[in-house]
Copies of this chain bind each other. A is one copy, B any other.
């Protein structure tokens, strides 16, 4: 059945023609309108297919039952994730493209986020940022299992945006290029001392020590990651040059004025906005007279809370700050911003590469965890790729230096000079 109105409701059960849309179909149509008329179809348990009829749908969401629709109606952001993970929503089509379509329509829609997801808006979240809470949040995500991450992060085990100097670069090449890009921006020189906050599985710390001849103190609060990193450094004979410490960024300033560079790749997302001023103060304190720093972090065009489902299921306590918010770190500490680069297309590409590898090991993941975990992770990877494609998320590398620092690169041309000009060792 087709209606001539701007919304179409059709049924697959042609033996029981429906002459008017059901209440469920009307709710669905209203939901689609509210999120800005995306070109997707929702197929309900009643057999009805609902679209807003404006453009040809690029994919379908199959909604299993009334409870799912009702929850979706009041809190689409959270419930889509929950229902997809549980298998109460199935997708026909490309999940990433469908999520891009929703992002674009929401961004273009004049309807306020509060009306789009009334339940979420009503939720008042008080984020407690003690060290122990930070620890819990980090365990939640990073201490799942090193074996699991090994399946899809590639040889470097770098779990942050890669940098593809050319489109044909592999994930491993791009992760190494990212580390070089960071080291070049910091103009690391042999013998310098670097402090890294949030070192993951240690790839950057080891790369800096091995390729740039610096001495690294690397902090992390994830024990699984630290164990892995220490083994790795020892295997490469760098045990003396890299010191992996189980500690929080709050400890970076224990050795006052003793570092040439501060670096943090993919940690700021886990620092509470209220702690930014404190972070800036500690960075100042730990740096010497030629000191400089680089923060690599997911961000946004303007302040907004993290996606509700991602915050609940994937990254508890995390945020994606706008540049204006990040400036709290630098302003009160009187740091000069020297260089900001947005690597957004590179993160979309990184996520696609991760997802391809993840899909290649999907049976092993299902065996290690369960079907729900697989679906959650699929949604997280596809949804993140979509967010970087559509500009819901950005990824910034910010190079800075305390105002009084003598660090002042003349131009950025050296970053793009042939590699042999950077070989310090």
Contact = CB atoms under 8 A, between A and B. Distances in A.
Interface of A: 104, 107-108, 163-165, 167, 301-303, 322-324, 327-328, 330-332, 334-342, 344-345, 390-391, 394, 396, 403-404, 408, 410-413, 415-416
Closest 6 CB pairs of A and B: A324-B327, A340-B340, A302-B331, A391-B403, A416-B416, A338-B342
16 contacts: A107-B403, A163-B411, A165-B413, A301-B330, A301-B334, A301-B337, A302-B331, A322-B327, A324-B324, A324-B327, A324-B328, A337-B394, A338-B342, A339-B341, A340-B340, A412-B416
Nearest to A417: B416
B336 A301 contact: yes
A107 B334 contact: yes
Nearest to A322: B331
A327 B413 CA distance: 26
A332 B404 contact: no
Nearest to A349: B410
Contacts of A411: 163, 165
Given A301-B330, A323-B327, 11 more contacts: A301-B335, A323-B323, A324-B328, A327-B327, A337-B342, A337-B394, A339-B342, A341-B412, A391-B403, A413-B416, A416-B416
A212 to B, nearest CB: 21
A323 B327 CA distance: 7
- The count of identical subunits is 2
A342 B165 CA distance: 23
A337 to B, nearest CB: 6
Contacts of A336: 301, 342, 344, 391, 394
Contacts of A104: 404
Contacts of A167: 410
Candidate in A165, A328, A330, A337 with the most chain B CB atoms within 10 angstroms: A337
A165 B334 CA distance: 27
Nearest to A399: B342
Given A331-B322, A339-B340, A345 B408 contact: yes
A303 B303 CA distance: 19
A48 B121 CA distance: 69
